[in-house]
């Protein structure tokens, strides 16, 4: 008989929990990438970036809220996800 140990993101994980940890890691990576995308958009009129970026996760869907200087910045953020 042998013992199989799993380490995921630097912590030990039981084999029965591997799927949950993988899902958490994917969600974290998606949040990081999407937040980086939103924060990198710049308003072509005012030269500003979105501020006060908040991410909500509900049923595997990400929903962003942020402050924008104008409607053009909002449009630019929406286009960045297309």
Question: Is the model more confident about 32 or about 41?
Answer: 41
**Tell me, what's the pLDDT at 69?**
96
Q: What is the DSSP string of 9-65?
A: TTEEE-GGGHHHHHHHHHHHHHHHHHHHHHHH---TTT----EEEEEEEETTEEEEE
* Model pLDDT for residues 2-28, shown as the tens digit of each residue: 777 778 777 787 778 888 888 888 888
Contact 57, 31 (CB under 8 A): yes
What residue ranges do the domains of the chain occupy?
14-80
pLDDT beyond 80 at 29: yes
């Amino acid at each position: 008989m042998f013992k199989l140990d799993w380490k995921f993101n630097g912590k030990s994980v039981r084999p029965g929990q591997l799927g949950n940890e993988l899902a958490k890691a994917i969600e974290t990576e998606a949040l990081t990438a999407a937040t980086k995308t939103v924060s990198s958009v710049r308003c072509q009129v005012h030269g500003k970036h979105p501020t006060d970026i908040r991410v909500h996760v509900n049923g595997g869907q990400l929903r962003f809220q942020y402050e924008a200087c104008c409607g053009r910045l909002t449009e630019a953020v929406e286009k960045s996800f297309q």
